[in-house]
Amino acid sequence: MREKMLAGDVCNRIVVIAERGLSLVQAAQLMRKRHVGCLVVVDETGAGRLVVGMLTDRDIVTTVVARELDAAVLTVGDVMSRELISVLEDDSIKDMLVTMRRKGIRRLPVVTSQGMLVGLVTLDDVLSLMAEQLREMASVVETEALRERRERA
Q: What percent of the chain has pLDDT over 90?
A: 72
The yes-or-no verdict on residue 87 having pLDDT over 60 is: yes
The pLDDT tens digits for 22-37 are 999 999 999 999 999 9
The yes-or-no verdict on residue 93 having pLDDT over 70 is: yes
Virtual torsion, Cα 52, 110, 112, 8, nearest 10 deg = -170
Is this prediction's pTM over 0.75? yes
3-state SS, one letter per residue, for 31-81: HHHHCCCEEEEEEEECCEEEEEEEEEHHHHHHHHHCCCCCHHHCEHHHHCE
The pLDDT tens digits for 125-137 are 888 888 888 888 8
What pLDDT score was predicted for residue 1?
Answer: 47
What pLDDT score was predicted for residue 3?
Answer: 64
The pLDDT tens digits for 39-59 are 999 999 999 999 999 999 999
In this structure, the number of other CB atoms found within 10 A of the CB of residue 83 comes to 7
Across the chain, what does the average pLDDT equal?
A: 91
The per-residue b/e assignment along 124-153, b for 16 or more CB within 10 angstroms, e otherwise, is ebbeeeeeeeeeeeeeeeeeeeeeeeeeee
CA distance 112 to 114: 5
CA distance 9 to 121: 10
What pLDDT score was predicted for residue 14?
Answer: 95
